[in-house]
Chains A and B, each alone.
Chain A
Amino acid sequence: MSALLEVRGLTVCHGQLEAVKGVSLSVSPGEVLGIIGANGAGKSTLLRTIAGLHKPSSGAVLLDGVAITRLAPEKRVAAGIVLVPEGRRLFGSLNVEENLLAGCYRARPGPWTMARVLAMFPWMATRRRQPASQLSGGEQQAVAIARALLANPRLLMLDEPSLGLAPVPLQRIYAVLPELVEAGLGVLLVEQDVRQALKVSARVQCLLEGRQTLAGVPAELDFEQIEAAYFGMTRKKGA
């Protein structure tokens, strides 16, 4: 299977700090790649760079084998890359429906329509006039994902969708993932909740201080390996 997204040796600096150091990855259509790692491991920076919000100091981002490393973020949406940012980031002064319509702003043609999204989250139809700022955390996350789907992405990036959610809303959010994957979406998932990431991902990669410390298929990784890669507690081999 050819890769939808390919990242080669990406290094991203915030001023003097190298937040991401030489990370490579690839995501195929219909595949979930989970990125795990502790706070400050560079996971969000990685996603934001793929979305075009940060410029990498070296490395390349390719979509269908075409380099998009220097493309403006708004043009990546039209190319099919959509990020659901950390903390949901709904438009607070817009209501639920307007937030969803914002997702349609530069939508590509595709299977995700307002009707399909509302069928997936029926409560949104009845509460469409409610200001987004009044929703609960789980509801906001659902709107953020629905908003992203309406752009008809080929690659959906989710940044910490579980952040601040109670177990039940969390399960509701993750319950939609299989349908997305089945529709052929490539999903790049950043998740601090390792168990959750291992459960839904076809492959996982672990970042530690911006560097990749582990990559593999969840079933083949044991807990100690992950712990070591996550916290970096074993002696670091020369990386």
Chain B
Amino acid sequence: MNVVNALVQGILLGGLFALFACGLSLMFGVMDVINLAHGDVAVAAVYLAVVLIPASHIPALWIFVLVVPVFVVGGYILQRLLFQRSLDSGAVTTLLVTFGLSVVLENGLLEAFTANSQSLNIGSLVSGSFEISNQIFVPYLSLIILGAALVALAALQLFLARTRTGRMVRAMSDDRETAQLMGANYRHLFGIATGLAFGTVALAGLALGMYTSVAPTTGPSYLLYGFAAVVIGGLGSLWGTLIGGIVLGVASTLGALVDPDFGAMAPYLVFLAVLAVRPRGLFPKKAAA
């Protein structure tokens, strides 16, 4: 029964990982950009919420209505002003620029908010849960986060599959030059992709801030989980990222059954194992192209 409970909790946790990772997956899939500041962007979203909640009187659970649009727009602007310039001068430059952004965000947050950790207060919801059987409890918050992850991934998938702009984003990730020959302004489309990536990671950050507490320097540790989820699922594949997140989540909770410390290590063992057996991840996207 413990194992079943661990599986359930692992899947729920996987939702958070997937939500966190899908922006990484999108940016890599579309632009071949590995955003090392991804974790810090999530943390920055929490701090923005910490400022906005008292100012706007919006409850913490709904603050995403303000925070997510700010990050979508911010992502677009950052792509146009910062990432695009580095993209034009090579992949390594982009890596360095996002690393620089990570350092700047961390230190900016330290400067403005000190090293104290913060969390988003959602009242009794944080500990509320319902019972499936006498040993399996499903926390409401985890379920909400998994739901949000599914909605975000489905929305992204629909956007990419069904809309004119989304189709062109995919075309561009196949062949940027030919997409230009069809009239695509790749800078604009890259901006949209980054905006969406930042929007989803802001949502993930808010979920994280409700689930646990974050400090200005916790971003990179979550970035690692994000990377692992993206790589396990297969680079650039959104549903693969969801599976990757769930695999990580389950590995973490099952590992914790063996030994609480092992829970933190198990996901990385799985990560290594997948890399050893299937270096392109479970659902590689680019193999088909």
B51 interface contact, C-beta 8 A: no
CB of B181 within 8 A of CB of A91, answer no
- B-chain residues with CB within 8 Å of residue A83 when the two chains form the complex: 181
B50 interface contact, C-beta 8 A: no
CB of A85 within 8 A of CB of B181, answer yes
A98 interface contact, C-beta 8 A: yes
- B-chain residues with CB within 8 Å of residue A106 when the two chains form the complex: 182-184
B185 interface contact, C-beta 8 A: yes
CB of B167 within 8 A of CB of A94, answer yes
A91-B171, A93-B289, A131-B288 given as contacts; is B177 within 8 A of A53 (CB)? yes
- B-chain residues with CB within 8 Å of residue A73 when the two chains form the complex: 180-181
CB of B175 within 8 A of CB of A78, answer no
> Which of B178-218 touch A at CB < 8 Å?
178-186
- A-chain residues with CB within 8 Å of residue B288 when the two chains form the complex: 92-93, 131, 133
- A-chain residues with CB within 8 Å of residue B168 when the two chains form the complex: 102, 105
Task: Return the CB mask of A70-104 against B: 1 if under 8 Å, else 0.
Answer: 00111001100011010001011110001101111
CB of B182 within 8 A of CB of A94, answer no
- A-chain residues with CB within 8 Å of residue B289 when the two chains form the complex: 92-93, 133
A148 CB, nearest partner CB in chain B, Å:
8
Partner of A85, one of B174, B178, B183, B285: B178
CB of B164 within 8 A of CB of A74, answer no
- Tally of chain B residues near chain A (CB < 8 A): 21
- B-chain residues with CB within 8 Å of residue A72 when the two chains form the complex: 185
Q: Identify the closest chain B residue to A131 (Cβ).
A: B288
Q: How far is the CA of A147 from the CA of B285 in the complex (A)?
A: 24
Partner of A74, one of B171, B173, B185, B285: B185
A12 interface contact, C-beta 8 A: no
A102 CB, nearest partner CB in chain B, Å:
5
Q: How far is the CA of A78 from the CA of B180 in the complex (A)?
A: 11
Q: How far is the CA of A92 from the CA of B175 in the complex (A)?
A: 9
Q: Identify the closest chain A residue to B171 (Cβ).
A: A91
Q: How far is the CA of A89 from the CA of B172 in the complex (A)?
A: 12
Q: Apart from A91-B170, A91-B171, A91-B174, what 9 extra A-B contacts exist at CB < 8 Å? A: A53-B177, A89-B175, A91-B178, A93-B285, A94-B170, A101-B164, A102-B167, A105-B183, A106-B182
Residues of B participating in the A interface, judged by any CB pair closer than 8 Å: 164, 167-168, 170-171, 173-175, 177-186, 285, 288-289
A-B pairs, 6 with minimum CB distance: A106-B183, A77-B183, A92-B289, A91-B174, A89-B178, A91-B171
